Amino acid sequence: MDIAALSMGLSQMKVAQEASVSVLKMAMDSMKVQSVDLTKMLEVNTKMMEQSVNPYIGGNIDISL
C-alpha cells in the first residue's frame, strides 16, 4: 500500500468532512434565525387576532384624580 496515496486520501476525506460540518453549521444558524422570526410573527398575529375579536378594548382610558 502506498503511504503517500493513503495520506492524500485521508487528507481529502478530512477536507470533505470539514466542509460538511461547515454547511451543517450554516444550516443550523439559518434555522435559528427562521425560528426567531416565526416566533415574532406568531406574537404579532396573536395580537392582531385579539384586536379583531375585541376592537374597542384598550382604545380608551378613563382616568379620574
pLDDT in single tens digits along all 65 residues of the chain: 688 989 999 999 999 999 999 999 999 999 999 999 999 999 988 888 877 777 777 777 778 87
pLDDT, residue 1, reads: 65
Q: What is the DSSP letter of 59?
A: S
Q: Which residue has the cell 477536507?
A: 15
> Does residue 31 come out as left (phi exceeding 0), alpha (psi in the -120 to 50 range) or beta?
alpha
Answer positive or negative: Cα dihedral of 48, 54, 57, 59.
Answer: positive
Q: Which residue has the cell 468532512?
A: 17
**pTM for the whole thing?**
0.57
